[in-house]
Structure 1
Amino acid sequence: MFNKLLFGSKKLLGVALLSLFSLSIVPHEANAADQQPQVAWEKIASGAMVLDVRTPEEFAAGHLVNAVNIPFEQVAAEFAKRGIAKDTPVVLYCRSGRRSGIATDALVAAGYTKTYNGGGYQTLAETQPKTE
């Protein structure tokens, strides 16, 4: 009886650990409200900082007007280093929305309260409102 109970507990513990491990390696799933180009452009029009979290090489190949380039792995540390206020509105983007989602999570974890994952560069560039 004890062996059966012990084996069952080990199996349950293994499943729990596997579940926890898989949660830590699953890529960022963007908030359903994020990655809507029209929302991103509204925030940018209202004065949000535009943050490109791609590599410097990707940034050099093309980026949104007024975008600041900080690679996604460095975002939280660089914001702290630059003294960027935690209530600064920020729209982040990358190639597909995955890295900007990771960077958004890092900023939120660091206490930033007005972040928005704008998604992919190409989509944002194609939906940019026309200026008169």
Structure 2
Amino acid sequence: MSMEVEDVIALPPALEQARAQAIEKNWPYAGGVTPPVAWQLVQDGHALLVDVRSGEERKFVGHVPDSLHVAWATGTALTRNPRFVRELEAKVAKDGGKEAVVLLLCRSGKRSALAAEAAAKAGFTQVFNVLQGFEGEIDARQHRGGSDGWRFHGLPWVQD
């Protein structure tokens, strides 16, 4: 069965821009979006937000309300989760599976980029990295959250 042009669901402009940038930068996944863009996409129902930080990070640092959780690495040593792709598949199965638009969030955007790459290699076609992450980059004073990141932008989060 061939797919007609009208059967293809267009991505929101922000994701189309992210995809174009990913192609330009030769990223191995669909692209990256800033925290404010990610939040808007989630609020508009265009994407699922999956936090890939450890359970400990979510508990003690905070997390986005109603975000899904699949740890990329676990424990204080951040040991790579060998079941990451399978667990991600299970979390998004009812929302389109490997075709779902998935936004991955970590502390600074680095682990989530690795997780996005692994997901893309496993067949996820619309997996995006949330650039800057939840806490942002370390600044000159060795602090996070002073210039970027989810919390810096004043986006919703809670702490246990």
What are the ranges of 5 or more consecutive residues in structure 2 without an aligned counterpart? 1-26, 73-80, 136-148
CA RMSD in angstroms, aligned pairs only = 2.4
Aligned to 1:68: 68
| Distance change in 2, residues 1:78/1:52 (3 Å) | same
1:85-115 per-position Cα deviation (integer Å, ceiling 9, x unaligned): 1111111111111110011111111111121
Q: Say which structure, 1 or 2, has more relative contact order (CA 8 Å, 6+ apart).
A: 1
> Structure 2 CA distance, aligned partners of 1:129 and 1:59?
15
TM-score relative to the length of structure 2: 0.54
User: Do the aligned partners of 2:89 and 2:98 also contact (CA within 8 Å) in 1?
Assistant: no
Aligned counterparts, 1:1-132, within 5 A? 34-47=32-45, 48-61=47-60, 62-72=62-72, 73=81, 74-82=83-91, 84=93, 85-119=97-131, 120-122=133-135, 123-128=149-154
Aligned to 1:13: none
1:15-48 per-position Cα deviation (integer Å, ceiling 9, x unaligned): xxxxxxxxxxxxxx797x5142232223212322
SS of the equivalent of 2:32 reads: coil
> Structure 2 CA distance, aligned partners of 1:129 and 1:57?
21
User: Do the aligned partners of 1:30 and 1:101 also contact (CA within 8 Å) in 2?
Assistant: no
> Structure 2 CA distance, aligned partners of 1:79 and 1:95?
18
Structure 1 stretches of at least 4 aligned residues deviating more than 3 Å after TM superposition: 80-83
Of structures 1 and 2, the larger Rg is shown by 1
- Of Structure 1 and Structure 2, which has the larger fraction of its residues in helix? 1
What are the ranges of 5 or more consecutive residues in structure 1 without an aligned counterpart? 1-28
SS of the equivalent of 1:121 reads: coil
Identity of matched residues, %: 30
User: Do the aligned partners of 1:52 and 1:94 also contact (CA within 8 Å) in 2?
Assistant: yes
TM-score relative to the length of structure 1: 0.64
